[in-house]
């Protein structure tokens, strides 16, 4: 299969291939500190075949500080990136076809404790504010957005929408959802939804590449990435910009394909180029948002996930964590993050501050 069809097939088959569900909600860490260093980076190590996942805390020099056992499989499964809100980080767990998971995992970076919440089967994307977790999941046709009350630990509202919603983002008082059309007619559906009522304020169809997996906001614009072209024959080389004042959308051509994660720092947009299906992609676009100037950087390893903070680029592949200074992208630190646990894999990371 070619790229576009393969990405969509993988998204659907995630429901089928994950065969283990999540355990009961739990809190905290089952192992003590390994040294007295300050934890700066949290790496998610997960498995399809085992009932537990692990969050491993490291210093910037790669010293392992703590290992926290999570009673839940496939933490940060699918193509989701961890979502940070204040001192807490949220992510999903899809689970298996015959025993689908309903979990969202919440990790508190202040005390290294965690909770899980039963919300919906097969969660693709997560957004969070002070009081609620918003999720999207997809039955055979269409999608469901769920509003979950954190304090009451209960579902407050749901909204059914057409299309396969692969990404939602919370900006101000609105949820922005990005869905591939059920008709597969070369369009995506952008819905602007009141986060309090879950009423749809506006819905737009636009000719577009498919598979929107990430977004970021800068000024009055939401930038979002595309993974594949609608014809299924080639990867996308476009990101798009949604102006939240007039709801217009414009496209920006990029010098490499497979746009994945997006981060804004000091007026620059950083775009990783990575194909999660084939686990390949070692390029990073740096775009000046004031001038539109683009620079394409290549690395000697894959960019599975990226974070940009403190004038540094943090990234990982399936074996190592890498830290670079921005600008010249000189490597500052590199350390191993994958151990020898059978049937486990690296499922991403997040920063502790």
Domain edges within the chain: 3-351
pLDDT for 201:
97
Query: In whole angstroms, what is the distance from residue 144 CA to residue 161 CA?
Result: 6
Strand order in the sheet with 238-243: 215-218, 221-225, 238-243, 249-253
Q: Residue with structure tokens 């920006």?
A: 252
Query: In whole angstroms, what is the distance from residue 256 CA to residue 34 CA?
Result: 41
* Cα distance between the two ends of the chain: 41
Q: Cα 178 vs. chain centroid, distance in angstroms?
A: 14
CB neighbourhood size of 161 (10 A): 20
pLDDT for 98:
52
Task: Report the CATH fold assignment for 3-351.
Answer: Methylamine Dehydrogenase; Chain H (2.130.10)
Residues 108, 137 contacting (CB under 8 angstroms): no
CB neighbourhood size of 331 (10 A): 12
Q: Residue with structure tokens 């683009």?
A: 294
pLDDT for 234:
84
Least Cα distance to 20 among 57, 59, 47, 54 occurs for 47
Residues 68, 57 contacting (CB under 8 angstroms): yes
Query: In whole angstroms, what is the distance from residue 75 CA to residue 54 CA?
Result: 9
Query: In whole angstroms, what is the distance from residue 301 CA to residue 336 CA?
Result: 13
pLDDT for 323:
98
pLDDT for 32:
55
pLDDT for 277:
86
pLDDT for 31:
55
Is the Cα torsion angle 53, 283, 286, 326 positive or negative in sign?
A: positive
Is the Cα torsion angle 161, 163, 167, 169 positive or negative in sign?
A: negative
| The two structure tokens encoding residue 62 | 């790669």
CB neighbourhood size of 293 (10 A): 10
The H or E element containing residue 206 is: strand 200-207
Strand order in the sheet with 132-137: 123-128, 132-137, 143-149, 154-161
Q: pTM for the full model?
A: 0.89
Backbone torsion region of residue 219, taken as left when φ is above 0, otherwise alpha when ψ lies between -120 and 50, otherwise beta: left
- Ranges under pLDDT 70 in the chain: 1-36, 95-100, 232
For the chain, what is the largest distance between any 2 Cα atoms, rounded to a whole number of angstroms? 56
| Each residue's pLDDT tens digit, 13-48 | 443 333 333 433 344 445 556 665 799 999 999 987
């Amino acid at each position: 299969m070619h790229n576009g069809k393969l990405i969509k097939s993988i998204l659907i088959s995630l429901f089928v291939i994950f065969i283990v569900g999540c355990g009961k909600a739990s809190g905290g860490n089952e192992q003590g500190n390994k040294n007295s260093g300050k934890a700066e980076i949290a790496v998610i190590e997960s498995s399809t075949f085992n009932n537990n996942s692990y969050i491993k805390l490291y210093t910037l020099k790669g010293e392992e500080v703590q290992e926290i056992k999570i009673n839940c499989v496939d933490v940060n499964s699918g193509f989701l990136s961890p979502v940070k809100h204040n001192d807490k980080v949220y992510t999903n767990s899809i689970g298996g076809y015959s025993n689908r998971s309903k979990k969202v995992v919440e990790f508190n970076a202040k005390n290294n404790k965690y909770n899980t919440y039963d919300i919906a089967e097969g969660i693709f994307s997560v957004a969070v504010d002070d009081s609620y977790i918003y999720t999207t999941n997809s039955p055979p046709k269409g999608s469901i957005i769920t509003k979950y009350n954190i304090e009451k630990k209960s579902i407050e509202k749901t909204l059914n929408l057409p299309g396969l919603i692969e990404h939602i983002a919370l900006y101000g008082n609105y949820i922005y959802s990005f869905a591939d059309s059920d008709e597969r007619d070369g369009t995506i559906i952008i819905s602007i939804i009141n986060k309090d009522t879950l009423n749809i304020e506006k819905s737009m169809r636009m000719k577009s590449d498919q598979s929107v997996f990430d977004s970021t906001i800068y000024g009055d614009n939401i930038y979002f990435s595309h993974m594949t072209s609608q014809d299924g024959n080639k990867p996308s080389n476009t990101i798009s910009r949604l102006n939240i004042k007039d709801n217009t959308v414009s496209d920006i051509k990029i010098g490499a394909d497979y746009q994945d994660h997006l981060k804004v720092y000091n007026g620059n947009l950083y775009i990783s180029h990575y194909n999660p299906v084939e686990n390949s992609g070692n390029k990073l676009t740096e775009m000046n948002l004031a001038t539109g100037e683009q620079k394409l950087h290549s690395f000697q390893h894959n960019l599975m996930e990226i974070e940009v903070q403190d004038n540094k680029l943090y990234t990982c592949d399936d074996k190592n964590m890498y830290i670079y200074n921005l600008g010249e992208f000189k490597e500052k630190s590199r350390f191993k993050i994958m151990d020898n646990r059978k049937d486990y894999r690296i499922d991403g990371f997040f920063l502790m501050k």
